[in-house]
Amino acid sequence: MNLYEQLLTVRDRLEQIGANDASMDLVEKLLKKAEPARYDRTNVSQIQVLRHMLSLREVNDNDYVYNDLQELIGERDKSEIIAREDSAPAAYVDTNRRPKPKSFYKAQKEKAKKKE
């Protein structure tokens, strides 16, 4: 997703959490600035957009906006942790590969001789 699409997503997420009006105004201002890049094919991650927004002077001057953005980053971290936990193999699944004993290969060789 490009910058414009990421900002739209941030705006939707801010609306879902009931963010402060100052946060919404900041995102609208950034959307207007990013309008020329609407059809740009450069991918930008959402965490990059949120971190950039946190570095803006308007965010550092307003605690409400800062807290709203921190909440979005926190939700993002939680969803990444959940996704990582879901993708990890269960603890009871044996993932170690062990070599087979010599007797296994010996028996296999004997079976092959009997078939011939």
- Give the integer Cα–Cα distance in Å for 5 and 46: 9
For the chain, what is the mean pLDDT? 86
Q: What is the pLDDT of residues 42-74, one digit of tens each?
A: 888 888 888 899 999 988 899 999 999 999 888
Residue 92 lies in a domain: no
Q: Would 46 be classed as within a structural domain?
A: yes
pLDDT over 80 (residue 18): yes
pTM of the model: 0.65
Print the domain residue range for 81: 3-87
Structurally, the chain folds into a number of domains equal to 1
The DSSP-derived string for 7-38 is: HHHHHHHHHHHT--HHHHHHHHHHHHHHGGGT
Q: What is the pLDDT of residue 40?
A: 85
- Residue 95, domain member (yes or no): no
Whether 109 is covered by a domain: the verdict is: no
